[in-house]
């Protein structure tokens, strides 16, 4: 049952969440309401309750529920269908408007609705059944998008002008790259009204961080004066739930902020689909001030930013000391590699402290005749290898789909990839937990895909840039730019890393560059960041009060991460 729920993306909604969404979306007793992913019926119940409150004498006649899971659909039919709710056992993506000329089964042809509410599936794309039809129906949506993006776009086709849409969804769209499409859609095709962000996971049984998204469908008009209300909920209890309902009813009055609930109104013209919206959701006051700072520029403007080595088969390409000794591979065919930040005890990467090696061989088998590395390669070609995400195996790493598609010649040759992009002087971890350190790759070792690899436009900028990147300012930006996974994992994409604001080194005098260089070296020896921070704050012409407020907001961000 658990595995089935995982495949179908079933995460069942707390009653109070459904009540909040239904209360805002359903505006009159005559509203026709759709739940496109009904599950156990929490939103059906909330819709019926709301319709009764508004005076509906036969609320069941106004509710339509779609459920893909046949067993759940039968339960819904038994519980609600007999009372008058229309229950349809279908994949919502297969449903079409009644006015559409597209052919489909009668059960999938739906009218337009005044309110659409629900909890779209939380499912990993590789586990999604028939995901191809989603991509075929909406080719403009990034294939990396979670299923809820498709549900929102598809739902809009059934929403009347003036109708309202309310879903509880993952918060990934606030920071993930594919979120740009959804943000643009919500701003241009719908009228996004509220984003409710929860510090703690609403769904305790899964590592899913959530937001409530509330929007209207209106005819396009000027964005002048229009605002989106971001509500941050720090703690959830009965009083907070009532307060949240009250704030939404009062159109997001910022004066209603409290210790548990923070309300921020953001003008639409300030919201860019290509930027993270997490800072607005968290109610961070210093974010916009820092973003507009005249000495801060995107990292990509002063450095080349890429991702480290994707071997596509770590079990074969990466060898620890025992495996190296077992196969006794010649040193000329190996290079030291830093696989994870957990291996590093200081901000300086030194080859002598690393225990892992990566295969570094571009010679053909004929050229390798009589070598021990050839024996290792042939061993790899005899191994039974499980294919990730599939219940199949192949014989030989060279026969795995990803390596076959990689175009490596010979198949074991990582040399071009390593030489081109994987040995750079600065390493920024892709995933950040409690500690934040950006590393100096002093010995020029290979970096794995667990790091962003950074090369400044000028060689003399390496140490000054390391000082900037290790400052509280950059940690602040990294933590609000990254995608926050459940469990407190802060995941940074290559595109997001390129946009991280940093000091424009081309505009700094040589004296400041030298001070930054020395500040980083002092930080390496002391591991005390305060002096480094004070220098960066001074160079950026910020005050001690600014510094203290930034540190406070950073601690808030870290607290949110740890609670997830």
User: Tokens 């109070």 label which residue?
Assistant: 16
Q: Give the per-residue pLDDT at 135.
A: 82
In the chain, what is the straight-line distance between the N-terminal and C-terminal CA atoms, in Å? 25
Tell me which residue range forms the domain holding 247: 2-283
Give 219-271 pLDDT, tens digit per residue: 766 566 789 999 998 877 778 888 888 888 776 566 667 778 889 999 998 89
CA 148 to chain centre: 13
- Examine residue 383 and state whether it is found in any structural domain, yes or no: no
Split at pLDDT 50, 70, 90, the class of 5 is: very low
Q: Are 170 and 209 in contact (CB under 8 A)?
A: yes
- Cα(284)–Cα(477) distance, rounded to whole angstroms? 11
The pLDDT > 90 percentage for the chain reads 68
Helix-helix angle 472-481:544-563, to 10 degrees: 40
Q: Greater confidence, 155 or 278?
A: 155
Residue 132 lies in a domain: yes
Cis peptide preceding 410, ω within 30 of 0? yes
Residues 447 and 427 sit within 8 Å (Cβ to Cβ): yes
Using an 8 Å Cβ cutoff, are 349 and 445 in contact? Answer: yes
Question: Over the stretch 11-48, which tens digit does the pLDDT of each residue have?
Answer: 567 899 999 999 999 999 999 999 999 999 999 999 99
The C-alpha angle 504, 267, 281, rounded to 5 degrees, equals 75
Query: 454 pairs with which residues across the strands?
Result: 305, 426
Paired strand residues for 502? 297
Count of other CB atoms within 10 angstroms of residue 533: 21
- Give the separation between CA 64 and CA 341, rounded to whole angstroms: 51
Residue 29, token pair as written in the block: 């007793």
Q: Span 476-504, mean pLDDT? A: 86
Of 73, 152, 78, the residue nearest 118 (C-alpha): 152
- Identify which of 428, 434, 431 has the alpha carbon closest to the alpha carbon of residue 502: 428
Q: Is 325 exposed, middle or buried (0-12, 13-18, 19+ CB in 10 A)?
A: exposed
SS3 193: strand
Whether residue 531 lies inside any domain: the answer is no
pLDDT tens string 501-556: 999 999 999 999 999 999 999 999 999 999 999 999 999 999 999 999 999 999 98
Chain CA centroid to CA 373, Å: 40
Half-sphere exposure of 529 (CA within 13 A, CB side): 21
3-state secondary structure of 361: coil
pLDDT value of residue 4: 43
- Strand ordering across the sheet containing 33-35: 86-89, 63-67, 33-35, 113-118, 159-170, 210-216, 191-198, 227-233, 261-267
Closest CA to 363 of 372, 347, 374: 374
- Whole-angstrom distance, CA of residue 444 vs CA of residue 438: 15
Strands 318-319 and 483-485: unpaired
Give the closest residue to 268 by CA, choosing from 307, 223, 221, 233. Answer: 223
Among the listed residues 372, 364, 381, 16, the one whose alpha carbon sits nearest the alpha carbon of residue 210: 16
Q: Residue 266: phi, psi to the nearest 5? A: -120, 125
Structure tokens at 505: 């080194």
Number of structural domains found in the chain:
1
User: From the CB of residue 331, how many other CB atoms can be counted at a distance below 10 Å?
Assistant: 9
Residue 421: inside a domain: no
Please provide the average confidence, as pLDDT, over all residues in the chain: 90
Query: Is residue 185 included in any domain, yes or no?
Result: yes
User: How much is the pLDDT for 223?
Assistant: 63
Check residue 132 and give its pLDDT. Answer: 78
Residue 425 lies in a domain: no
Structure tokens at 403: 């390596």
Q: What is the pLDDT of residue 564?
A: 65
SS (H, E, C) 308-334: CECCCCHHHHEECHHHHHHHCCCHHHE
pLDDT higher than threshold 80 for residue 103 = no
Residue 44's domain is classified under what CATH number?
A: 3.40.50.150
Give residue for tokens 């943000």: 183
The predicted structure's pLDDT at residue 503:
97
pLDDT at residue 387 is higher than 60: yes
CA 400, CA 518: separation in Å to the nearest integer?
48
DSSP state of 412: T
pLDDT tens-digit map of 530-545: 999 999 999 999 999 9
Tokens of 264: 């921020």
Question: Does a structural domain hold residue 14?
Answer: yes
409 in a domain, yes or no? no
């Amino acid at each position: 049952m658990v595995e089935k729920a995982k495949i179908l993306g079933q995460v069942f909604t707390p009653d109070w969440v459904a009540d909040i969404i239904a209360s805002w979306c359903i505006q009159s007793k005559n509203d026709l309401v759709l739940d496109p992913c009904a599950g156990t019926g929490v939103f059906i119940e909330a819709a019926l309750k709301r319709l009764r409150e508004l005076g509906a004498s036969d609320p069941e006649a106004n509710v339509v529920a779609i459920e893909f899971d046949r067993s759940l659909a039968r339960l819904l039919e038994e519980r609600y269908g007999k009372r008058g709710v229309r229950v349809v056992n279908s994949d919502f993506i297969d449903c079409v408007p009644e006015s559409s000329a597209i052919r489909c089964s009668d059960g999938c042809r739906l009218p337009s609705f005044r309110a659409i509410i629900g909890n779209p599936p939380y499912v990993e794309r590789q586990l999604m059944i028939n995901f191809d039809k989603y991509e075929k129906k909406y080719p403009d949506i990034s294939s990396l998008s979670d299923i809820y993006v498709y549900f929102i776009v598809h739902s809009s086709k059934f929403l009347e002008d003036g109708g309202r849409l309310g879903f509880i969804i993952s918060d990934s769209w606030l920071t993930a790259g594919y979120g740009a499409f959804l943000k643009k859609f919500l701003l241009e095709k719908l009228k996004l009204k509220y984003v409710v962000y929860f510090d703690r996971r609403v769904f305790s049984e899964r590592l899913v961080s959530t937001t409530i998204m509330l929007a209207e469908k209106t005819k396009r008009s000027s964005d002048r004066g229009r605002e989106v209300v971001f509500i941050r909920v720090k703690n959830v209890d009965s009083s907070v739930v009532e307060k949240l309902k009250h704030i939404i009813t009062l159109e997001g009055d910022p004066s209603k902020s409290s210790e548990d609930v923070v309300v921020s109104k953001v003008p639409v013209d300030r919201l860019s689909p290509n930027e993270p919206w997490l800072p607005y959701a968290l109610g961070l006051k210093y974010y916009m001030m820092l973003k507009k700072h005249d000495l801060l520029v995107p990292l990509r403007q002063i450095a080349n930013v890429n991702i480290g080595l994707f071997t596509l088969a770590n079990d074969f390409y990466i060898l620890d000391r025992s495996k190296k000794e077992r196969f006794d591979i010649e040193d000329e065919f190996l290079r030291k590699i830093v696989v994870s930040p957990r291996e590093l005890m200081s901000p300086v990467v030194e080859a002598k402290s690393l225990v892992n090696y990566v295969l570094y061989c571009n010679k053909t088998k004929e050229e390798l005749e009589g070598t021990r590395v050839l024996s290792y390669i042939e061993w790899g070609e005899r191994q039974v290898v499980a294919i990730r995400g599939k219940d199949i195996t192949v014989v030989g790493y060279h026969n795995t789909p990803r390596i076959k598609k990689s175009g490596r010649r010979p198949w074991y040759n990582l040399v071009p990839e390593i030489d081109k992009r994987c040995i750079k002087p600065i390493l920024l971890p892709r995933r950040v937990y409690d500690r934040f350190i950006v590393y100096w790759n002093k010995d020029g070792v290979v970096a794995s895909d667990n790091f962003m690899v950074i090369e400044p436009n000028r060689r003399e900028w390496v140490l000054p840039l390391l000082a900037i990147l290790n400052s509280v300012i950059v940690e602040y930006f990294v933590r609000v730019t990254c995608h926050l996974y459940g469990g407190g994992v802060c995941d940074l994409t290559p595109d997001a890393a390129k946009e991280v604001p940093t000091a424009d080194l081309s505009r700094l005098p040589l004296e400041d560059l030298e001070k930054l260089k020395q500040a980083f070296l002092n930080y390496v020896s002391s591991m005390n960041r305060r002096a480094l921070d004070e220098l960066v704050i001074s160079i950026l012409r910020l005050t001690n009060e600014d510094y203290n407020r930034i540190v406070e907001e950073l601690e808030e961000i870290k607290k949110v991460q740890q609670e997830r």
